[in-house]
């Protein structure tokens, strides 16, 4: 993957001296290094192929993309090769590190506008180029924007990029739910009609907010909550009050990018002409303004890691071992997510607490949520330019019934059910043999071939080179994968496109689904949760409850072939009853009301299904304890029905309660019969022995 006109970087680990660690991703560690023959400082990304053997496809795509690109704002790899069980990607060293690291070290509240404008302009140049080349980056975020010591800005990390010209199998990659939740465009989450390069424009807008605030909107929330909020709430934006320091044109740029309808988002080329970029300066200005006085990257990285582990210790003391992984990911900057459902549930319970605390601390938040503009840290609403979205982040309901309605409204905002979607794609504590989705089968069929590729490690990107055996000259403090004794440097073409069709799936088989049932008191699940913990308004915990455990580390990734979208997006919905209020109806034209009513009708059907599902789940968990079930139903019935649909639901609850009663009665009878038979059998056996 070298470029003929340029220096030839050796494809042998012995030719590099690894120095300190300067970065860490989901599947890789990045080192500053010296290319000995060329006497040049480089960055080497060391990927442990054993750890990410489900994501060879992504790795292959990243390396391949890095080979083909040629733009001053896109980070291009010098070369790559395997060493033992790891893949080494040699890249130019970007001494400033990522914008995320810079902010974490020195600008926790974000950068000043001229810096943001310059960084965004340079990033946008990269996007214009990539889009022209037919690539969707799919992971635009501050953590992937690297700054060199002279202020040069480069967009990095093509682990999840996709080609818009792909067809067939590769086209499916574009119908894949991939990226990092906070930066992910709604259409990528929804999977209704696939998506295109406009998904990068959304992420670009989120990145703009990230650079302005030091964190992405919703970054303190667990993934499921982020999905809900992205789909349900109006897009985040710059708050006129909180973000007074930013110009109108910056606010407009963000608003232009963060439009839910991708068709209404500008292309990267068009965005380039936005007047906001008049605020941009030179690269040198960036270097002078944000890099001056900073410690060397390795030192900063070491300090951040130390801070991170301190926080982990604190969090461990607060939340125990279970949260450690997800907390770790959170502290790292939400670059990776732990998709264990139990963790999600615990996180959901925790998050609710945060929300309660923060709302209690900030009485103005409730009022603010009605404001026109959004404070991105506190999920709120603002009128969407595309339609009217009604959502309330703060639950004011007093009884379980209303909490169920909260749950319902949250569910209704999902055009697809996220956990159902996940179920088709991730290993969800069920017998895998029954995974029937076509793409799942396909993936599994492709596995032996893919594993073979993993084993032989035939990934080398310097085409035409012969197999090279080499000595290892890196320092002894290297990680295991970097110091593997037996080293093989194999050359040849990249793993062919069709050879690998895999997903980033890691199943933690040690997690016992049954444990869920006897979980600690933070494991709230199903409608009972909503009664027991009244303020909890978190759908993830409820929905998750019906699923088995999922452990998926890495970026969020769901293949649309496994999804069954069941409802339209952008419906008008009210969190309480799922219908627009009369005042809003009066503001709508007849033409606008009809589709929304149809939409609500459709949603109601879905909601009913969801509630039935949840009731079933509660029955499973608590069915044996009729007292609880009785209480649940009684609680529900205490609230007077206010609409036909509510009456209908209540009738269903009663029916279900009755059928539970008769099933339990039948069970009791059978048990007695069984005991009788056992007694008879025992006496026969006893007689025979005599
Ligand atoms: N060429 C480079 N020069 C300097 N630092 C780098 C370079 N490449 C990466 N880094 C640092 O290492 C970090 C992790 O690298 P990278 O993002 O490529 O790993 P990853 O596993 O793909 O991570 P993620 O999945 O979180 O995006 C970056 O955020 C950045 O701070």
pLDDT digits (tens, 9 = 90+) for 620-646: 655 545 444 444 444 443 444 456 777
Would you say the CB of residue 26 lies under 6 angstroms from ligand 1? yes
ipTM tops 0.90: yes
Q: State the pLDDT at residue 289.
A: 96
Q: State the pLDDT at residue 201.
A: 96
Least Cα distance to 97 among 80, 75, 126, 113 occurs for 75
Range in 427-431, 609-613, 628-632, 640-644 with the lowest mean pLDDT: 427-431
Highest mean pLDDT of the ranges 141-145, 571-575, 613-617, 676-680: 141-145
How many Cα neighbours within 13 Å face the side chain of 278?
6
Q: How far apart are CA 276 and CA 116, in angstroms?
A: 10
pLDDT grade, residue 2 (50/70/90)?
very low
Highest mean pLDDT of the ranges 245-254, 642-651, 674-683: 245-254
Ligand 1 mutation target, pool 45, 66, 91, most atoms within 8 A of CB: 45
pLDDT grade, residue 597 (50/70/90)?
low
Range in 263-267, 300-304, 321-325, 635-639 with the lowest mean pLDDT: 635-639
Q: Binding site: what residues are annotated? A: 45
| Assigned token pair, 642 | 């206010």
Highest mean pLDDT of the ranges 133-137, 179-183, 397-401, 514-518: 133-137
Q: State the pLDDT at residue 601.
A: 60
CB 395 within 8 A of CB 403: yes
Alpha helix segments (H runs only) across 369-437: 400-412, 418-425
Q: State the pLDDT at residue 648.
A: 73
CB 570 within 8 A of CB 386: yes
Q: State the pLDDT at residue 107.
A: 96
Atom of ligand 1 minimally distant from the CA of 95:
4
Instruction: Answer whether residue 272 shows pLDDT above 80.
Output: yes
Residue 160 CA to ligand 1 centre (angstroms) = 13
| More confident of the two residues 220 and 428 | 220
Q: State the pLDDT at residue 138.
A: 85
Instruction: Answer whether residue 432 shows pLDDT above 50.
Output: no
Instruction: Answer whether residue 115 shows pLDDT above 90.
Output: yes
The protein residue with its alpha carbon nearest to ligand 1, atom 15, reads 25
Rg (CA), the chain: 27
Count Cβ neighbours within 10 Å for each residue of 200-214 and write b for 16 or more, e otherwise.
bbbbbbbbbbbbbbb
- Give the SS3 label for residue 98: strand
Ligand 1 mutation target, pool 19, 25, 308, 481, most atoms within 8 A of CB: 25
Highest mean pLDDT of the ranges 21-30, 63-72, 395-404, 452-461: 21-30
Would you say the CB of residue 484 lies under 6 angstroms from ligand 1? no
Q: State the pLDDT at residue 618.
A: 63
Residue 146 CA to ligand 1 centre (angstroms) = 8
Q: State the pLDDT at residue 194.
A: 66
Q: State the pLDDT at residue 557.
A: 41
The protein residue with its alpha carbon nearest to ligand 1, atom 31, reads 98
pLDDT digits (tens, 9 = 90+) for 348-404: 444 443 343 334 333 333 333 333 233 333 333 333 333 333 233 333 333 333 333
Residue 546 CA to ligand 1 centre (angstroms) = 36
| More confident of the two residues 146 and 173 | 146
The protein residue with its alpha carbon nearest to ligand 1, atom 5, reads 97
Alpha helix segments (H runs only) across 471-589: 526-532, 539-544, 582-587
Q: What is the mean pLDDT of the chain?
A: 63
Q: State the pLDDT at residue 377.
A: 36
Using CA atoms of 391, 397, 401, 403 in order, give the dihedral in degrees to the nearest 10. 50
The protein residue with its alpha carbon nearest to ligand 1, atom 29, reads 143
The protein residue with its alpha carbon nearest to ligand 1, atom 27, reads 25
Q: State the pLDDT at residue 288.
A: 96
Residue 103 CA to ligand 1 centre (angstroms) = 15
The protein residue with its alpha carbon nearest to ligand 1, atom 12, reads 23
Atom of ligand 1 minimally distant from the CA of 62:
22
Residue 179 CA to ligand 1 centre (angstroms) = 15
Residue 157 CA to ligand 1 centre (angstroms) = 7
Residue 26 CA to ligand 1 centre (angstroms) = 9
Q: Binding site for ATP: what residues are annotated? A: 45
Highest mean pLDDT of the ranges 296-300, 406-410, 493-497: 296-300
Q: State the pLDDT at residue 33.
A: 98
| More confident of the two residues 433 and 646 | 646
Q: How far apart are CA 628 and CA 622, in angstroms?
A: 7
Instruction: Answer whether residue 192 shows pLDDT above 50.
Output: yes
Highest mean pLDDT of the ranges 110-124, 537-551, 557-571: 110-124
Would you say the CB of residue 156 lies under 6 angstroms from ligand 1? yes
Would you say the CB of residue 48 lies under 6 angstroms from ligand 1? no
Q: State the pLDDT at residue 621.
A: 59
pLDDT digits (tens, 9 = 90+) for 555-591: 444 333 333 333 333 333 333 333 333 444 444 444 4
Would you say the CB of residue 206 lies under 6 angstroms from ligand 1? no
Ligand 1 mutation target, pool 16, 19, 22, most atoms within 8 A of CB: 22
Ligand 1 mutation target, pool 42, 90, 93, 157, most atoms within 8 A of CB: 157
Q: State the pLDDT at residue 394.
A: 30
Would you say the CB of residue 31 lies under 6 angstroms from ligand 1? no
Instruction: Answer whether residue 74 shows pLDDT above 60.
Output: yes
Instruction: Answer whether residue 274 shows pLDDT above 90.
Output: yes
Q: How far apart are CA 253 and CA 497, in angstroms?
A: 37
Q: State the pLDDT at residue 215.
A: 95
Would you say the CB of residue 23 lies under 6 angstroms from ligand 1? yes
340: left (phi over 0), alpha (psi -120 to 50) or beta: beta
Atom of ligand 1 minimally distant from the CA of 332:
26
Would you say the CB of residue 173 lies under 6 angstroms from ligand 1? no
Distance from the first to the final alpha carbon of the chain? 86
Would you say the CB of residue 91 lies under 6 angstroms from ligand 1? yes
Q: How far apart are CA 20 and CA 283, in angstroms?
A: 26
Highest mean pLDDT of the ranges 362-366, 537-541, 660-664: 660-664
Would you say the CB of residue 529 lies under 6 angstroms from ligand 1? no
Task: Tell me the average pLDDT across 483-507.
Answer: 30
Would you say the CB of residue 28 lies under 6 angstroms from ligand 1? yes
| Catalytic residue of the set 48, 139, 200, 543 | 139
Q: How many CB atoms sit inside 10 A of residue 532's CB?
A: 14
| More confident of the two residues 419 and 151 | 151
Instruction: Answer whether residue 457 shows pLDDT above 50.
Output: no
Residue 653 CA to ligand 1 centre (angstroms) = 52
Q: How far apart are CA 632 and CA 670, in angstroms?
A: 26
Tell me what percent of the residues of the chain surpass a pLDDT of 70: 44
Q: Where are the beta strands (DSSP E) in 207-293?
A: none
Atom of ligand 1 minimally distant from the CA of 23:
12
Would you say the CB of residue 25 lies under 6 angstroms from ligand 1? yes
Instruction: Answer whether residue 49 shows pLDDT above 70.
Output: yes
Would you say the CB of residue 575 lies under 6 angstroms from ligand 1? no
Residue 25 CA to ligand 1 centre (angstroms) = 6
Ligand 1 mutation target, pool 29, 97, 303, most atoms within 8 A of CB: 97
Q: State the pLDDT at residue 476.
A: 34
Q: State the pLDDT at residue 596.
A: 55
Q: State the pLDDT at residue 321.
A: 53
Catalytic (active site) residue 139: yes
Residue 30 CA to ligand 1 centre (angstroms) = 6
Would you say the CB of residue 146 lies under 6 angstroms from ligand 1? yes
């Amino acid at each position: 993957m070298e470029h003929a006109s340029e220096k030839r970087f050796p494809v042998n680990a012995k030719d590099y001296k690894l120095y300190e660690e300067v970065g860490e991703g989901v599947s890789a560690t990045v080192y500053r290094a010296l290319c000995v023959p060329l006497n040049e400082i480089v960055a080497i990304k060391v990927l442990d192929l054993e750890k990410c053997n489900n994501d060879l496809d992504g790795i292959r795509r990243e390396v391949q993309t890095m080979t083909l690109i040629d733009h001053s704002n896109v980070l291009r790899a010098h070369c790559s090769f395997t060493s033992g069980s790891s893949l080494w990607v040699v890249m130019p060293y970007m001494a400033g590190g990522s914008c995320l690291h810079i902010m974490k070290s020195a600008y926790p509240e974000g950068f000043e506008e001229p810096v943001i404008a310059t960084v965004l302009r340079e990033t946008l140049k990269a996007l214009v180029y990539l889009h022209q080349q037919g690539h969707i980056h799919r992971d635009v975020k501050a953590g992937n924007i690297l700054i060199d010591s002279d202020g040069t800005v480069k967009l990095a990390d093509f682990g999840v990029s996709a080609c818009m010209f792909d067809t067939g199998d590769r086209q499916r990659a574009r119908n894949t739910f991939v990226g990092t939740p906070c930066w992910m465009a709604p259409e990528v989450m929804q999977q209704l009609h696939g998506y295109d390069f406009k998904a990068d424009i959304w992420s670009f807008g989120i990145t703009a907010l990230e650079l302005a605030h030091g964190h992405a909107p919703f970054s303190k929330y667990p993934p499921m909550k982020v999905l809900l909020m992205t789909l349900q709430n109006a897009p985040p934006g710059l708050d006129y009050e909180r973000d007074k320091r930013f110009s109108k044109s910056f606010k407009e740029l963000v608003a232009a990018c963060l439009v839910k309808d991708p068709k209404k988002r500008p292309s990267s080329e068009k965005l380039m002409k936005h007047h906001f970029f008049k605020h941009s300066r030179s690269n040198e200005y960036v270097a002078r303004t944000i890099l001056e006085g900073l410690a060397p990257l390795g030192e900063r990285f070491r300090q951040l890691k130390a801070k991170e582990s301190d926080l982990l210790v604190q969090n461990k003391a607060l939340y125990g071992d279970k949260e450690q992984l997800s907390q770790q990911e959170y502290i790292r900057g939400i670059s990776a997510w732990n998709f264990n459902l139990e963790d999600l549930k615990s996180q959901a319970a925790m998050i609710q607490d945060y929300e309660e605390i923060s709302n209690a601390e900030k009485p103005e938040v409730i009022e603010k949520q009605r404001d026109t503009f959004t404070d991105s840290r506190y999920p709120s609403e603002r009128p969407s330019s595309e339609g009217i979205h009604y959502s309330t982040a703060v639950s004011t309901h007093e009884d379980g019934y209303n909490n169920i309605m909260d749950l319902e409204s949250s569910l209704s905002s999902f055009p697809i059910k996220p956990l159902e979607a996940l179920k088709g794609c991730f290993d969800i504590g069920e017998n895998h043999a029954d995974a029937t989705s076509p793409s799942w089968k396909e993936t599994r069929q492709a596995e032996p071939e893919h594993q073979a590729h993993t084993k032989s490690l035939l990934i080398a990107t310097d085409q035409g080179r012969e197999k090279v055996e080499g000595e290892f000259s890196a320092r002894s403090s290297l990680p295991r994968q970097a110091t593997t004794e037996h080293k093989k440097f194999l050359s040849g073409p990249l793993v062919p496109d069709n050879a690998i069709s895999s997903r980033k799936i890691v199943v933690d088989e040690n997690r016992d689904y049954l444990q869920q049932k006897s979980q600690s008191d933070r494991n709230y699940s199903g409608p009972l949760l909503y009664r027991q913990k009244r303020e909890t308004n978190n759908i993830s915990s409820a929905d998750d409850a019906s699923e088995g455990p999922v452990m998926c580390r890495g970026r969020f990734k769901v293949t649309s072939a496994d999804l069954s979208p069941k409802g339209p997006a952008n419906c008008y919905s009210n969190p309480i009853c799922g219908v627009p209020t009369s005042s809003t109806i009066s503001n709508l034209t007849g033409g606008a009301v009809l589709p929304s009513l149809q939409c609500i009708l459709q949603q109601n059907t879905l909601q009913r299904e969801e509630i039935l599902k949840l009731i079933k789940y509660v029955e499973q968990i608590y069915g044996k304890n009729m007292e609880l079930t009785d209480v649940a139903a009684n609680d529900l019935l205490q609230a007077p029905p206010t609409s036909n649909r509510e009456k209908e639901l209540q009738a269903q609850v009663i029916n279900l309660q009755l059928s539970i009663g008769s099933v339990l009665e039948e069970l009791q009878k059978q048990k007695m019969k069984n005991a009788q038979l056992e007694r008879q059998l025992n006496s026969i056996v006893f007689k025979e022995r005599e």
